[in-house]
A and B are shown apart, each in its own frame.
Chain A
């Protein structure tokens, strides 16, 4: 049940619409659909079931006086620390792929394009996966996204080094941006991709990121999402992934910062014997809100999915996990597992964890579990009884809790970076 659009939503849309450029790398029909959806439904508020804890209509109204697109260029030195030494680093600055700030593509089999390269092309793949009539923020992107990056790995190419896309925003005044990517792995291709999100400006940013990922037969995409946009960023991050037969998608999302972070991560298993893993780790403090919504959509038989989300919530912050496993009528022999574990460190923090299983096939193995608790007192005492102080003991236990997710990161320098980041945060 979709709630009625509010007046504030219309104002926001009008304001954004005024500053947006015409989107021409998506089919005209899809763009029209997007505007129609936004006209009718607007930005979701708390009455919207899917956005119950993440009232973006209210958040945007409260936090943004204006929606400009007043961005500035940045120097290479300002983003150097976000680059990974062992990776090919690509930079999307303020929503636009920036070749000058990006590394040279030194391997064969990768094609990088500006999304605007698809303009006037009736066969554009952009928005072929993310449909406007499914969600307001998908519609938002289809209506207003000015640009983005297209990454393709050609047939049977196994890329020997990771690729990192760094989405950098740097606004001068309160601004909105809608970065976008389309990642296409052709048959038998393999890629390790990190997508990192940073805000290095001093003004507030509403970022509506959308990524479509098409993984063809026998292809494999290992992906890491690193969110570290700081306290001035309010973001919605949509990932819609289509997996063809025998393909693998393995994502680990680490949320290090962001005032409001909403993640909509959808893996759609459209080919048999495909495998999708979604893992996540968030730790929140202050008045942060991190809301992870995942969907595993099993459309065909013999597929497997696995989810592990962990959260540590402190101060007055809120963590949300809503994981839906959808097994369609034809998706027999599905194996789908989900686990969400959370630690609440404060009395004023909140965790809302909800697994949702909708199963229409009769021969499947599905399970889910969710737990929320405090730090284990018995373990804490055991460590203290060996001379380890309260703060170090808690840190050891939280690190142990987080390690199960962090250990999934196979890029060594990235893993070390996350570990260091966590050590200073706990």
Chain B
């Protein structure tokens, strides 16, 4: 699905990612954990195509295509989705209009006809249920005046609507209480199939109780310093990041 090789990236001349190697196959969930400042969000931003980041070395292939040469919109149209850590409020643009535009631009990219109004509404209804998003929110402006939890649920709702093949969840658990966390995780689990993959970026093990990863990677100082199965997350939770820090600080 996605193949990241020796990825280096800088922001304002400062190198943040220092050689990431990662292979994610269809049907897999990978968790990326790591202390603050390790480069987790930079990795998600670089993959989504945020312009503030400069890739200085390495390559990323997404379903066989060179991801780094694509515009952010083409990455999304190819099936990549980023659930933002801090979803943006866009006053004046309704959620519905926003999603309809997105779906139709993706369909047009694939050479498909625009979605029928009634099919679109049925889809909205079905996916709202999945993340228990209040119907009123979908008619409001994108994220405007939403609570932190509503914003995160709206991200998962958008993901459900767009049906990406590869989704990155960037600290989707931050700022969520346990009930909202369960709803979000439940949404993700229902969307998971053998044909898509997830990269779950998180600071805490908590989310991984509900979204069970196939692999866990620890990112530290711009590199994946340790990979393992879900037990690694538990280990990390018990010992904290200090051991990792002290071990790799000295190298």
Contacts and interface: CB of A to CB of B under 8 A. Distances in A.
Interface of A: 378-379, 381-390, 392-393, 396-397, 399-401, 403-404
A384 B73 contact: yes
Given A381-B72, A397-B93, 10 more contacts: A378-B88, A382-B142, A385-B48, A385-B49, A385-B72, A387-B73, A387-B77, A389-B105, A399-B92, A403-B92
B167 to A, nearest CB: 12
A390 B76 CA distance: 13
B90 A400 contact: yes
A246 to B, nearest CB: 33
B26 to A, nearest CB: 20
A397 B101 CA distance: 12
Contacts of B101: 388, 392, 396
A389 B97 contact: no
Given A392-B101, A396-B97, A396-B98, A386 B162 contact: yes
A403 B141 CA distance: 12
A388 B105 contact: yes
Contacts of B109: 387
Given A386-B76, A386-B158, A401 B105 contact: no
Contacts of A397: 90, 93
A385 B76 contact: yes
B106 interface: yes
B102 interface: yes
A82 to B, nearest CB: 28
Nearest to B158: A386
Contacts of A404: 92
A379 B105 CA distance: 17
A379 B90 contact: yes
Contacts of A385: 48-49, 72-73, 75-76, 81-82, 84
Scoring A379, A389, A404 by chain B CB atoms within 10 A of each residue's CB, the highest score goes to: A389
Given A400-B90, A400-B92, A400-B93, A386 B48 contact: no
Given A396-B98, A396-B101, A384 B72 contact: yes
Nearest to A386: B102
Given A387-B109, A396-B101, A381 B51 contact: yes
Nearest to A407: B92
B71 interface: yes
A382 B106 contact: no
B97 A390 contact: no
Contact of B102 (A378, A387, A403): A387
21 contacts: A378-B88, A382-B84, A382-B90, A383-B90, A383-B102, A384-B76, A385-B49, A385-B84, A388-B73, A388-B102, A390-B71, A390-B73, A392-B101, A392-B105, A396-B101, A397-B90, A400-B91, A400-B92, A400-B93, A400-B141, A403-B92
B87 A382 contact: yes
Interface in B100-122: 101-103, 105-106, 109
B115 to A, nearest CB: 13
Contact of B93 (A378, A384, A396): A396
Interface residues of B, number: 32
Contact of B71 (A378, A382, A383, A384): A384
B169 to A, nearest CB: 13
B88 A386 contact: no
B222 to A, nearest CB: 22
Contacts of B51: 381
A167 to B, nearest CB: 31
Nearest to B82: A385
A389 B87 contact: no
A387 B92 contact: no
Nearest to B106: A387
B206 interface: no
Nearest to B94: A400
Nearest to B164: A387
Contacts of B142: 382
A390 to B, nearest CB: 7
A401 B87 contact: no
Contacts of A399: 92-93
Closest 7 CB pairs of A and B: A400-B92, A387-B76, A386-B102, A384-B72, A382-B88, A387-B106, A384-B73
Contacts of A386: 76, 98-99, 102, 158, 162
Contacts of A387: 73, 76-77, 102-103, 105-106, 109, 162
B145 to A, nearest CB: 15
Nearest to A387: B76
B50 interface: yes
B50 A381 contact: yes
Given A388-B73, A388-B105, A383 B98 contact: yes
Scoring A388, A393, A397 by chain B CB atoms within 10 A of each residue's CB, the highest score goes to: A388
A397 B105 CA distance: 16
A386 B92 CA distance: 17
Nearest to B83: A385
Contacts of A381: 50-51, 72, 88
B124 to A, nearest CB: 15
Interface in B52-80: 71-73, 75-77
Interface in B14-50: 48-50
Contacts of B73: 384-385, 387-390, 393
B143 to A, nearest CB: 9
Contacts of B87: 382
A401 B93 CA distance: 9
Contacts of B105: 387-389, 392
Nearest to B97: A396
A404 B93 CA distance: 11
Contacts of B81: 385
A178 to B, nearest CB: 39
A378 B72 CA distance: 13
A378 B162 CA distance: 20
A391 to B, nearest CB: 10
Contacts of A401: 92
